[in-house]
Amino acid sequence: MAIRHYWSMAVAAVGFRLVLVLFGGDLHLASRPEVSTPLTSLRRLAEGYWLKQASMSPYSGSMYHGSPLLLSVLGPLTSKRSGGHHSHIYCSLVFVAVDFIAAMLIRSTGRSLQMARNRSLKSLDLTKSVNNSVNVSTGDTASLIYLWNPWTIITCVGSCTSPIENLMVVIMLHGACSRLAPLAAFGYVMATHLSLYPAILILPVALLLGYGPDTPPTKVFLQKGLSASKIDMLDNGKGTNQKGFGQFSWKPILHFILWVFIWSCYVLLLNSIILNKVGGLQEMFEKTYGFILTVKDLSPNIGVLWYFFAEVFDFFRSFFLIVFNMNIIFMVLPLAIRLKHRPFFLAFVYTAIVAMLKSYPSAGDSALYLGLLGLFANELAEMQFTFFLFFGYIGVSLLSPVMHNLWIWRGTGNANFYFATGLAYTCLQTVLVVETVSSMIKHDRKLRLLTKA
């Protein structure tokens, strides 16, 4: 069921951003720790570009830790020659366009997922029994959630590069879902280059390329094949199983690996050209990936790592760095084994876990996975604690700036005030991940019971 007036709402979301950019004045969002991080700050990018223009390494000092490619693309727009305040507007207009493209790709991906879902339900003869309860247009829903999410809007208007990182992740998932290996490889290489953490999405991308979009578990199709064979072995037996699930194909994955190699060489070549005479690739890796993994900047953010490493003894710092960085990797394989039949949902879960455990999280990370969450509106219709989660996110969004103000500006609070909101935010994300995975498993169990019936 398509959403009426979809285009009106999408255009209104873009128009709302343009109004904030052009007439909102300086909202001071660039200085907000919830919006801008040491990796995504446009002010730091402007500093790096100024250093490069002065024939110095953009990584001199401790200001810039982003990609050299962003320096070449956005750097000229941040220059004072662009007209002072107008430079901020030019960059924000780029981010508005980036957000709109990401929303359209999410919409297209949602349609592909919904077509695959309808084919699976049709092959299982469950179309009526499942779609009678809920059947919304997930692509339209997810893209509107992404466009109208307040966190997406403040990230877009707030002078940070998170929208570009989110777009690269969406391009990767869209390419994998459409089985376009070159596009998926481009998104994967760029997303990993900009942020490192999307590297763990290699598993869901490989499963999407190998199996295709999400389907119910193999057991359901086998069960349907066995029950149907008793009635009509020729028509409904093997054909249903093959049509419903299909075989794993290695060809698109090998194609993907080849394109990852090609794009990686191309990106490294471009970076080396940009950093020629003002640095090198080794310094780039140390100041970007090394900076992410070693958590050297302990300025406050909405995560929990900054507070922990500010308090921990230096003697134990290396040990806890290994623990925190490995914490993400430990969850990758068990989730992939359990959810291998739903690779796109697996990608959503990984994205949410990364947003929760990365060293420098921001509102832009949450904007991405909350947008992708809309793609599973049909499967997660019976999810519990939605009321608690919805108002929990609103509460954290309102309390975080208040606690930061009490601590930094008014001096009537301390770091524990702000850290408490970050802790609550992490707990909310944990509940969200647990509940979505549980609801998806319950949905698959329900399909198995309906097939038996």
DSSP string over 32-58: -TTT--TTTBHHHHHHHHHHHHTTS-T
pLDDT band with cut points at 50, 70 and 90 for residue 244: very low
Residue 411 pLDDT: 80
Whether residue 1 is contained in a domain is answered as no
Contact 362, 35 (CB under 8 A): yes
pLDDT of 372 strictly over 90: yes
Whether residue 47 is contained in a domain is answered as yes
Distance of alpha carbon 95 from alpha carbon 93, whole angstroms: 5
Whether this model's pTM surpasses 0.95 = no
pLDDT of 130 strictly over 80: no
- Average predicted confidence (pLDDT) for the chain: 87
Whether residue 365 is contained in a domain is answered as yes
Looking at residues 100-122, what average pLDDT do you find? 92
pLDDT band with cut points at 50, 70 and 90 for residue 89: confident
Structure tokens at 208: 């999407």
Across 27-41, 126-140, 244-258, 328-342, the highest mean pLDDT is recorded for 328-342
Residue 229 pLDDT: 57
Whether residue 366 is contained in a domain is answered as yes
Looking at residues 168-176, what average pLDDT do you find? 96
Looking at residues 364-393, what average pLDDT do you find? 92
Residue 280 pLDDT: 83
Looking at residues 30-44, what average pLDDT do you find? 89
Cα 104 vs. chain centroid, distance in angstroms?
Answer: 15
Distance of alpha carbon 34 from alpha carbon 302, whole angstroms: 6
Which run of H or of E encompasses 323?
helix 314-338
Whether residue 205 is contained in a domain is answered as yes
Count CA within 13 A, CB hemisphere, residue 422: 25
Q: Pick the residue with more confidence: 82 or 337?
A: 337
Cα 431 vs. chain centroid, distance in angstroms?
Answer: 18
Looking at residues 139-168, what average pLDDT do you find? 93
Work out the angle at residue 158's Cα, subtended by the Cα atoms of residues 156 and 159, and round it to the nearest 5 degrees.
Answer: 90
Q: Pick the residue with more confidence: 187 or 120?
A: 187
Whether residue 81 is contained in a domain is answered as yes
Residue 442: partners with Cβ closer than 8 Å, 6 or more residues away: 382
Looking at residues 175-204, what average pLDDT do you find? 95
Contact 14, 100 (CB under 8 A): yes
Q: Which residue range forms the structural domain that includes residue 216? A: 6-291+300-452
Quote the number of domains for the chain: 1
Looking at residues 245-260, what average pLDDT do you find? 87
Whether residue 221 is contained in a domain is answered as yes
pLDDT band with cut points at 50, 70 and 90 for residue 235: very low
Lowest model confidence (mean pLDDT) among 119-123, 246-250, 388-392: 246-250
Whether residue 436 is contained in a domain is answered as yes
pLDDT digits (tens, 9 = 90+) for 277-309: 887 889 999 999 999 999 988 889 999 999 999
